[in-house]
Amino acid sequence: MKKLLLVLLAVAVSTTLGGAVLGVLAAEDYIRVVGGGSQPVGGPPFTVGMDVFTDELTFCAYHYELSYNPTKVQVDSVTFQESFPTGYFCASSIDNVAGKVVGDCARLGCPPGAFSGTDQVKMHCIASGNNIPLVLEPGTTMRDNLNGTIPITRYNGSVTCEEEAVGGVVEMQVHGSDSAARVAGDSGSSFPFYAALAGAAAAVAIAGGALYSKRRWLR
């Protein structure tokens, strides 16, 4: 009896742990935004990936709607993954006024099989901003071969657009005056510096002229 109880307990523990392991190993179906990072305003285009994954053998198509702030970033193009075998149809649309890019891809005939791949969305920064959201809208989805919805998780992304640094800044006070001449450290030009010296010389000349006039008037 004692041995039987031990066997039953071992089976129960094994089943529980096995279920937990299977739960951990079970793949999650998702569409997510990857990349972005920090990019310079006015710099070259950069690429944001659209990762698509499902282990559902009934998978047939996916659709994503990516929204962004069009006053900060603009989308140039969408390139669907090159690993698609024949028998797929993909299309995209870009609206840089509303700030939305739409991507659609479907298996023609919906043959069974899991799926994974990454589309490339090329964009560029037009104004500075921190952590500009790249949001997958609720309309983002996957479909099976019966046109049913495959539950997925959406992962949003972001990009930071930064103004490029001009260089070091040097500030020079002219004889305690509140005005200052600012010189870009790597501008290669000394004109502002000499302009400040000229201004200081002019101030000295004016003060000297005023003193000379005062002395003449006192005589």
What digits encode the pLDDT tens for the residues 100-117? Answer: 999 999 988 888 889 999
Residue 88 confidence (pLDDT) = 85
Which residue spans of the chain are classified as CATH 2.60.40.680? 26-162
Query: pLDDT category, 150, cuts 50, 70, 90?
Result: very high
The beta-strand segments (E) located in 126-217 are 129-136, 141-144, 149-150, 153-155, 157-162, 169-173, 180-184
Query: How crowded is the C-beta side of 1, counted as CA atoms within 13 Å?
Result: 0
pLDDT in tens, 44-74: 999 999 999 999 999 999 999 999 999 999 9
From residue 55, alpha-carbon distances to 12, 17, 33 in Å are: 29, 23, 19
Q: Over 60: is that where the pLDDT of 16 sits?
A: no
Query: How crowded is the C-beta side of 127, counted as CA atoms within 13 Å?
Result: 6
Specify the CATH number for 26-162; select among 2.40.37.10, 1.10.3720.10, 2.60.40.680, 3.30.70.20: 2.60.40.680
Query: How crowded is the C-beta side of 55, counted as CA atoms within 13 Å?
Result: 4
Query: pLDDT category, 164, cuts 50, 70, 90?
Result: confident
- State pTM to two decimals: 0.64
